[in-house]
A and B are shown apart, each in its own frame.
Chain A
Amino acid sequence: MKHVMRRAQRAAGGAERLVRLVAAPLRNHGFPYRAPTVPKGVVVPQEASKLGAEYDTEWARSALARTARSVITEGPIRLLARTLTNPEIVGTDRLDDLTRLDDPPPVIFAPNHHSHLDTGLMIRSVPSAWRHDLVVAAAADYFFDKHWKAAFSALALNAIPIDREATGRKSSDMIRDLIADGYSLVIYPEGGRSPDGWGQSFKGGAAYLSSRTGAPVVPVFIDGTGAIFGKGMTKPKPGRTKVIFGHPLMAEDGESTRRFNARIEAAVTALGDEALTDYWTARQRAHAGTSPSLTGPEYNGWRRQWALSERRKLGAAGLRRRQRRRWPDLG
């Protein structure tokens, strides 16, 4: 072992010497081989930022990038989703009328959001009719704040930057154009990951975009990712998840964005109830208006966390990986 370490150190030293040797002539040369110095008293004008909501993701939809992405989607993302989240995907039969069409129309997937893993899991779970033409609305201030992050998000996830506080005209125009080009969208109506494991109330982005583009909204409930890699966790804890797709929803005639948004939230809430109980109980409670809220109890503090642990026990996070079978102790 020591021998190996010594050889590695020697190799690293060699590489360093080589770099120094190559860079040595430049040390004696100034501009234009090196960046110009700035004269005193001169203000260099700042270039307009091309990051955040202004980041141009057009290149990520070129043929080459698409090919690279399909390799990433079917390879590392699929593997990662499987290894970390072991998902059970249900309810895709509710999309059967759309998937059976020769050319399924673009849709807007509206899942709840607990973890960075949600996006990879959604890409893995979305029926193949939409998987390869899927764009993901990602927070401009988080995923597009640095060049490398922006490039990675655009290439690997086909992410587009969205201002999470308000869906600006530029973002919504871009999404409208993408949907017109046949792309489907994943957008998290909660606007960001859950800070404490409970859901957050839905912002109207999905409802607004659906009304504007005519694309149906597919409510989705993701259960279990919060316990695997929730906000604030530094290391993922592999576990099990469940992804439930609901019936596509369209805004009814004269329905306001606010009401449509409430309907989407109710649909995701009912799917959440279905994930923890069963279909019949969830339908009964949905009609009675007693589906357990995704945003959790009103009170704060430890009791809120306590209630969350009770909820998680019922869901996918409460299921452990299969234990080795043991014979009963018959005494």
Chain B
Amino acid sequence: MPRPGFVLDVDRSTPPILFWRGEGFSLEKLPADRSRVIYPPEPLAALDDVDGAIRRALLQPHDSDPLPALLFPGMKLTIAFDDASLSLPKMRTPDTRQRVIEAVLDLAAAAGVDDVHLIAALGLHRRMHDYELRHVLGNRIYDAFEPRGALYQHDAEDYDNLAELGTTPEGEVVEINKRAADSDLLVYVNVNQAAMDGGWKSVTTGLASYRCLSFHHNPETLQNTRSLMDRHHSELHKSVWRMGKVVRDNGPKIFQIETTLNTDTFPSPFDFLSKREWEWTARDRATYLATAKSLDRAPSRLARKIFHGIEAPYRTTSVQAGDTESVHKITLDNVYAQQLVEVQGQTDILTMGIPFICPYNPESIMNPILVMCMGLGYLFNMYRGMPLVREGGVVIMTHPTYRDFHPVHHPSYIDFYEQVLADSNDPVVMSKKWEKQYAEDEWYRHLYRTGNAYHGVHPFYAWYWGAHGLQHAGRVIIVGGEPRAVRRLGFTPASTMDDAFEIASDVVGRSATVTHLHVPAILVADVQ
């Protein structure tokens, strides 16, 4: 029986706590009697027969006809699937998406459907490399569909292949992939690792145009998204759901398939990273020492290679299919069942170790903008109810914050760092002054459409993701970061955790309460 999440009150007997620092980690002592650590629940039991569960989900969907009844010869079938930003780290093969899509294809073959297209729902993310597509879909599907030109990636800038479906009462234009829009059936295959994913967000971001995305990916919406993990209090999700209604009324028939994963994040020998520190065995301690010391000495390129090579032993905990909203409701229940931890009250200082990965750097570099996005965008938003840190409190992150950028994946991030952040770090200001220029830059557009680059506007979106956190926190401190880079982000650098607490005392006083978010694995704090 897996143990639920747990909030530990730190006292003098508490051992030092693990903090991620990018491609490394450290053990930090937290102040006794005023600190607490939130540990995620242990991984839930996985489905024993995943293929059987997928088949059942397809044959007994929620508020929809069974999939075989929706398939007929001569139809246009499009299967869209989540891109490489899920799961993190990438899951061991076979990926759940492969299993689901194979089951769908099997039924399509039985129904005599010939016209099948597979589309990676990228939104404005970078195009996936071939090896990533093979990882997600498996060689069988890749080798069967890619040479036929029936497996490709969504292009949010290809206006010849985008279709406008209508406008919401708030004036938001809904524009999605034309092939998907013209299909007799659109099957969306999702992997739901966080409560913000899935539902109408799958189609209205993954298959949308830049114009469509800009209606909800903006500072105003994201400042009022409280939080990303709580759909009913998220302006972003409200906008997405309004768009979803337009898709339902004017768009193709959608058969949504959502799957949830447990939080079994690290394989051996890294499994100690998910354990509670006082339960580390002698072997775990030896592995920690050996790994931490060698990573300190290893070139960052090598360390990155090691970490991005990790394949998480995630297991599927549920599969549900059918009507988008009905399915998503069940998915959210399953996600919360795995991730929710009840926490009493807010804190003055929130600490978090920033790991080597976020949704925007699979197989890539965690540049300074992504450090901000991961800390204030994702980890800060891991709450339901109210933020873990009180308004005006301090957020302390640990990360080396090196000024390294992946020139192929993140070209516009480099200019964003040098040009936009040098001017302002206020999301509203940068949105008005700079966003259009980056979004319409022909070179970035070319790299996004033909290479493996994130869209030119993407660094802005990554920055807006942290807009609520920026607005809420009184000060943000990065421990162990390169000072120039940290200052460019508008944050305060600190050498050690003690220094960070000292700096924080200017804002929150000397006896401030501290809460540490012990992630990954992912958790959502249900703050009462």
Query: Given A278-B140, A280-B105, A283-B106, list of 5 further CB < 8 A pairs?
Result: A93-B93, A247-B51, A281-B144, A284-B112, A284-B114
Q: Which residues of A contact B106 (CB under 8 A)?
A: 283, 287
Q: Which residues of A contact B98 (CB under 8 A)?
A: 93
Q: Which residues of A contact B138 (CB under 8 A)?
A: 93
For window 182-226 of A, CB contacts with B under 8 Å fall at: none
Q: Is B48 an interface residue (CB 8 A)?
A: yes
A287 CA / B73 CA spacing, docked (Å):
13
Are B94 and A287 within 8 A (Cβ)? Answer: no
A283 CA / B144 CA spacing, docked (Å):
11
Q: Which residues of B contact A59 (CB under 8 A)?
A: none
A-B contact pairs, 16 of them (CB 8 A): A94-B94, A100-B315, A278-B140, A278-B143, A278-B147, A279-B105, A280-B105, A280-B116, A280-B144, A280-B145, A283-B105, A283-B109, A284-B112, A286-B109, A287-B106, A288-B112
Q: Which B residue's beta carbon lies closest to that of A248?
A: B51
Q: Which residues of A contact B139 (CB under 8 A)?
A: 90
Q: Is B130 an interface residue (CB 8 A)?
A: no
Q: Is B50 an interface residue (CB 8 A)?
A: yes
Q: Which A residue's beta carbon lies closest to that of B146?
A: A278
User: Please, what's the 1-or-0 string for A271-299, where 1 marks a CB less than 8 Å from any CB in chain B?
Assistant: 00010001111011011100000000000
A278 CA / B105 CA spacing, docked (Å):
13
Q: Which residues of A contact B144 (CB under 8 A)?
A: 278-281
Are B116 and A97 within 8 A (Cβ)? Answer: no
Q: Is A96 an interface residue (CB 8 A)?
A: yes
User: Distance in Å from the Cβ of B43 to the closest Cβ of chain A?
Assistant: 13
User: Distance in Å from the Cβ of A261 to the closest Cβ of chain B?
Assistant: 22
User: Distance in Å from the Cβ of B7 to the closest Cβ of chain A?
Assistant: 31
Are B48 and A280 within 8 A (Cβ)? Answer: no
A281 CA / B315 CA spacing, docked (Å):
30
A113 CA / B106 CA spacing, docked (Å):
27
User: Distance in Å from the Cβ of A187 to the closest Cβ of chain B?
Assistant: 24
Q: Is B110 an interface residue (CB 8 A)?
A: yes
Seen from chain A, the residues whose Cβ lies within 8 Å of a Cβ on chain B are 90-91, 93-94, 96-97, 100, 247, 274, 278-281, 283-284, 286-288
Q: Which residues of A contact B141 (CB under 8 A)?
A: 279-280
Are A287 and B110 within 8 A (Cβ)? Answer: yes
Q: Is B160 an interface residue (CB 8 A)?
A: no
User: Please, what's the 1-or-0 string for B104-122, where 1 marks a CB less than 8 Å from any CB in chain A?
Assistant: 0110011010101000000
Are A279 and B143 within 8 A (Cβ)? Answer: yes
Interface centre among B48, B94, B109 (most CB of A within 10 A): B109
Q: Which residues of B contact A286 (CB under 8 A)?
A: 109
Interface centre among B144, B145, B315 (most CB of A within 10 A): B144
Q: Is B170 an interface residue (CB 8 A)?
A: no
Are B50 and A97 within 8 A (Cβ)? Answer: yes
Q: Is B49 an interface residue (CB 8 A)?
A: yes
A287 CA / B105 CA spacing, docked (Å):
11
User: Distance in Å from the Cβ of B104 to the closest Cβ of chain A?
Assistant: 11
Q: Which residues of A contact B109 (CB under 8 A)?
A: 280, 283-284, 286-287
Seen from chain B, the residues whose Cβ lies within 8 Å of a Cβ on chain A are 48-51, 93-94, 98, 102, 105-106, 109-110, 112, 114, 116, 138-141, 143-145, 147, 315
Q: Which residues of B contact A90 (CB under 8 A)?
A: 139-140
A148 CA / B487 CA spacing, docked (Å):
79
A143 CA / B139 CA spacing, docked (Å):
37
Q: Which A residue's beta carbon lies closest to that of B110?
A: A287
Q: Which residues of B contact A281 (CB under 8 A)?
A: 144
Q: Which residues of A contact B112 (CB under 8 A)?
A: 284, 287-288
User: Distance in Å from the Cβ of A267 to the closest Cβ of chain B?
Assistant: 13
A278 CA / B49 CA spacing, docked (Å):
26
Are B48 and A97 within 8 A (Cβ)? Answer: yes
User: Distance in Å from the Cβ of A129 to the closest Cβ of chain B?
Assistant: 14
User: Distance in Å from the Cβ of B259 to the closest Cβ of chain A?
Assistant: 15
A274 CA / B102 CA spacing, docked (Å):
14
Are A93 and B94 within 8 A (Cβ)? Answer: yes
User: Distance in Å from the Cβ of B45 to the closest Cβ of chain A?
Assistant: 13
Q: Which residues of B contact A100 (CB under 8 A)?
A: 315
A274 CA / B114 CA spacing, docked (Å):
17
Are B94 and A96 within 8 A (Cβ)? Answer: yes
Q: Shortest 9 CB-CB distances between A and B: which pairs?
A: A279-B140, A278-B144, A280-B144, A93-B94, A283-B109, A279-B144, A287-B110, A284-B109, A287-B109
Are A97 and B49 within 8 A (Cβ)? Answer: yes
User: Distance in Å from the Cβ of A250 to the closest Cβ of chain B?
Assistant: 11
Q: Which residues of B contact A97 (CB under 8 A)?
A: 48-51
A166 CA / B386 CA spacing, docked (Å):
72
User: Distance in Å from the Cβ of A26 to the closest Cβ of chain B?
Assistant: 63
A281 CA / B139 CA spacing, docked (Å):
14
A112 CA / B105 CA spacing, docked (Å):
26
A280 CA / B138 CA spacing, docked (Å):
13
Q: Which residues of B contact A93 (CB under 8 A)?
A: 93-94, 98, 138
Q: Which A residue's beta carbon lies closest to that of B111?
A: A287
User: Distance in Å from the Cβ of A61 to the closest Cβ of chain B?
Assistant: 30
Are A274 and B140 within 8 A (Cβ)? Answer: yes
A278 CA / B139 CA spacing, docked (Å):
10
Q: Which B residue's beta carbon lies closest to that of A288?
A: B112
User: Distance in Å from the Cβ of A126 to the closest Cβ of chain B?
Assistant: 18
User: Distance in Å from the Cβ of A319 to the closest Cβ of chain B?
Assistant: 14
Interface centre among A274, A278, A280, A284 (most CB of B within 10 A): A280
Q: Which B residue's beta carbon lies closest to that of A284?
A: B109
User: Distance in Å from the Cβ of A44 to the closest Cβ of chain B?
Assistant: 61
A93 CA / B141 CA spacing, docked (Å):
13
User: Distance in Å from the Cβ of B353 to the closest Cβ of chain A?
Assistant: 29
Interface centre among A247, A283, A288 (most CB of B within 10 A): A283
A274 CA / B140 CA spacing, docked (Å):
9
User: Distance in Å from the Cβ of B323 to the closest Cβ of chain A?
Assistant: 27
Q: Which residues of A contact B114 (CB under 8 A)?
A: 284
Q: Which residues of A contact B105 (CB under 8 A)?
A: 279-280, 283
Q: Which residues of B contact A288 (CB under 8 A)?
A: 112
User: Distance in Å from the Cβ of B119 to the closest Cβ of chain A?
Assistant: 16
A274 CA / B50 CA spacing, docked (Å):
23
Q: Which residues of B contact A94 (CB under 8 A)?
A: 94
Q: Which residues of B contact A279 (CB under 8 A)?
A: 102, 105, 140-141, 143-144
User: Distance in Å from the Cβ of B392 to the closest Cβ of chain A?
Assistant: 48
Q: Which residues of B contact A280 (CB under 8 A)?
A: 105, 109, 116, 141, 144-145
A280 CA / B112 CA spacing, docked (Å):
12
A279 CA / B50 CA spacing, docked (Å):
20
Q: Which residues of B contact A274 (CB under 8 A)?
A: 140
Q: Which A residue's beta carbon lies closest to that of B94?
A: A93
User: Distance in Å from the Cβ of B109 to the closest Cβ of chain A?
Assistant: 4
Q: Which B residue's beta carbon lies closest to that of A278?
A: B144
Q: Which B residue's beta carbon lies closest to that of A274?
A: B140
A288 CA / B113 CA spacing, docked (Å):
11
User: Distance in Å from the Cβ of A45 to the closest Cβ of chain B?
Assistant: 58
Q: Which B residue's beta carbon lies closest to that of A95?
A: B94
A90 CA / B139 CA spacing, docked (Å):
9
A297 CA / B110 CA spacing, docked (Å):
25
Q: Which residues of A contact B49 (CB under 8 A)?
A: 97
User: Distance in Å from the Cβ of B280 to the closest Cβ of chain A?
Assistant: 22
Q: Which residues of A contact B102 (CB under 8 A)?
A: 279
A286 CA / B107 CA spacing, docked (Å):
12
User: Distance in Å from the Cβ of B70 to the closest Cβ of chain A?
Assistant: 17
Q: Which A residue's beta carbon lies closest to that of B93?
A: A93
A327 CA / B145 CA spacing, docked (Å):
30
A283 CA / B138 CA spacing, docked (Å):
15
Q: Which residues of A contact B147 (CB under 8 A)?
A: 278
